[in-house]
Each structure stands twice: as structure tokens, then as C-alpha cells.
Amino acid sequence: MSSIPEFVGTIHIYFGPYRGNPIALYLRHVDGAVHVSPTMYPWNRFVGIGETVNKAAADFDAKWKAGDLAPDMYSGPHWEGGIKPEKPKPPPKPKPPAATKPETPEASKSSETSTPTKPEAGCGITNDDR
């Protein structure tokens, strides 16, 4: 069951140097979801849908910007009543690859014993000189 539409904002479209009349944006509650859309043809094909009013407003913004109008051909939308479009959360950043460790303890021991030890620089005394 759909509810009575509620006025929630406007959007202006510019035709050349002229600013057209504002197009009203209306909100409807339909089956637990919120729909935001203009009622004027051909702009009524942009419908923002979300669980809350702010999520529906953000969805409408995204769909409107993806439409066929250039950003300089419209202003807004201008939301009434404290509606603030909720931007979706950015995707999580990928984790850096983990440092590689030797698979077995025997492999690390054999690599440690095969490397020759060098005397400390500057002291002049080695194990052979004692």
C-alpha cells in the first residue's frame, strides 16, 4: 500500500541561459521502503529507494548524477526538512600481503648454520687470535 506523497525538496534545470521552474521531489513509503522521485515527466524515471529517507535521498542523488544531464544543467537537489543524503561507506582497503616466513623450523636452522660468521668490525680480535 502506498502512502500520500510528501514534499521533500526541489531541483532546478537550466535550459541554456534560462532557469526553469523548480521540479518538486516527493517522498512515498511503499512496503517498508522509502521512494524519492520527481513527479514531472521525463524526470520521474529517477527514483531513489532506501530503508530510510536519507538513504533514499542519497540513492536519488547517485541516480540523478548518472543521468543524461551535465552537472552545469541543474542545481541541487535542494532538500527540505533536514534531509541529509547518507553517502555509502567506501569499500574496505585491501590488506597488505603478509611477510613470508619459513615453512619448517629445520629449513631456518640449516640456513642459519650455513652462513659464515664475520668478526666484529674494528675490534681486531678474532677467535683464531686468542
pTM greater than the 0.75 cutoff? no
Q: Which of 41, 38, 40, 60 is nearest to 49 (CA)?
A: 60
9-36 residue pLDDT tens: 888 888 777 777 788 888 888 888 888 8
| pLDDT per residue as tens digits for the range 56-93 | 888 888 888 888 787 778 877 888 877 878 776 777 78
Cβ atoms 47, 37 nearer than 8 A: yes
Q: How confident is the model at residue 107 (pLDDT cuts 50, 70, 90)?
A: low
Is the per-residue pLDDT at 105 higher than 70?
Answer: no
Strand partners, 78: 10
Whose CA is closest to 35, among 24, 51, 48? 48
Strand partners, 9: 25, 79
Q: How confident is the model at residue 103 (pLDDT cuts 50, 70, 90)?
A: low
DSSP string, 38-85: E-STTGGG--EEESSHHHHHHHHHHHHHTSSS-GGGEEEEEE-TT--P
